[in-house]
Structure 1
């Protein structure tokens, strides 16, 4: 009936915007989890790749001193990567994942470039390692396109600084360096562009999912305003006929006396506003006492206790609510300088409850108990709560009830009824 939305949501650009984190904490947590997991994966891959490359260079170099240099460079870089991997598991890594991203990037580009320059006096650009790093980052961590761009620019700035400091002579023709520069430029551009497009797509998906989630929440709220939560869940899981029989519940009917006459001399907006204020008070009382509101018909209010979740104190809950309804209306009159009164009828017994309708469906009750409660209200006294014999038997030990005597009830004949006066001290 209501579409279930189980779409994973991330708005990745929020990593660079702390204000968005503060506005949507659940999104922040989800995004950080995604990033931390991907950075951990990248660290593991870089550790394995570093070991294999270091072993290769040690094997290729014939001179012992070069083997030692290769081992030192590899050990230093692996130590940086291992530190980044460990940081992902700490609170610092959770707060600043973009910094770990840059550290991982530069430890495989800048650190190697600096080490080779210091140890071997070799300042040629290691573009193979740079391109491998940039492509790996764009594939494994396809987020934070700005950080990808910063990592690439930082690598180039680091190299330019080394070149200026060591001032080496060009070992190859200029065309060789131009070719390498073009490959590096296009590799970096493709990586940044792919990450940017991916983030843009994910942002649109997040916005669409967020709108669907809002619509779902509104539908859920609307459904729960119409149906009890238990019945709403049943209807969503099994959209078929829902009907249950309850052997012991207490039904309440309330009617505002004189409200129909008031409608003839009051403007519609003012009339509806008054009725809404009164029924809102009744709704608050229903929630407070654990009573299920069934419906309103004109200026009549219907509620029940003991369903859909059965409870043994259903009569007591309705009695307390009825007394509070009379009190709440009296306070409302005093506050607004009005003179409304209500008749309340209460009846206890078995009912059948279910959902009816195809479009404007409703949860309703049927049975003699419902009819009796309605008659208790219509044959009652303004400003009082009239209960039947079955309700009286459940309330007599805890409440003050005045016997009204035999009353001729339409469709029921003569019945003994009682007026609920208050709670026994």
Structure 2
């Protein structure tokens, strides 16, 4: 209904003026109320619109927060996965440490027995290395003595040749003296003949011939005497020089032989009494002993209540892999008996704990050891080249699994192989 219609209905429908005024007043009040109501509704609409905007802002902010939370959740998931992987490794490490702890908890008698066996094996290795060293020193001394003898023989030969030359000069001198004697005899005969001719000749022609013969004989005698004197002096001088040279050569040969014998004896004594100093960490002398396998499972240091004096090379599929000589040398130990080729928590006693193993003497006080092999492919006294196969990886002796135990020693003092070789 329109406002005009409302006013008309109020006027026409009023019973009296008072009733009409009452109705108008009520109409005004209703109009005011409607306006207030509309104003309130508009305000509410404005408030709702503001709230809607605020809610939209909050929704956007919450959406951004949710996206950030999802990103953080994803990052946390990655961290959880990494932690899970670390936990797996930690569990493996705990299991390994538990096994090592079990080994450490071996009773003292067993540990002492293992140490005694290892000590006995080390003494065996030391004796083999010492024997090889003495053999090498003996061979070097014999070679030095042989060279000195050869030198003395050569010098004696030279002295003999000089002596022979002196003897030849003496023979020449004697021949010259004999020739001089023969010439003198011929001269005497010529003189006698001339004297006889002198007596027999009566004519001036005979006398003249006699004089010329006498002059010729005198000239021949003078020439012969000069020749004999020069030859004698030269022969005597040559003989004296040859005698002096022979004496000097003999003396030099004797002194050289004596000096060689003294040097050889001194070198042998010094080598036996004082170890040769060897500079550690030589470059490019040793090579990796387990081709194709590069993971070091254990290094040098204390382990299982003992000292671990080398590196353990272990990797997936290493069992049966070739073991090669890290450097050329002579095999001094080749222990090839141990039926316990399987992982174990303690020592089976074979090879003092090394199981089947090889020791190579490289000269210059260097030795290397290769332990826990499944089979040894060389023998004592055999010379091996660098890189030559000497055996195959196993798990004999005190070994928890397939790996190669490798040591480098200088004068029987353990070195850290990682300072010498790398995969």
TM range (shorter): under 0.3
Of the two structures, which has the highest relative contact order with CA contacts closer than 8 Å and spacing of 6 or more? 2
TM-score by length of 1: 0.27
Higher Cα Rg: structure 1 or 2?
2
What TM-score results when the alignment is normalised by the length of structure 2?
A: 0.27
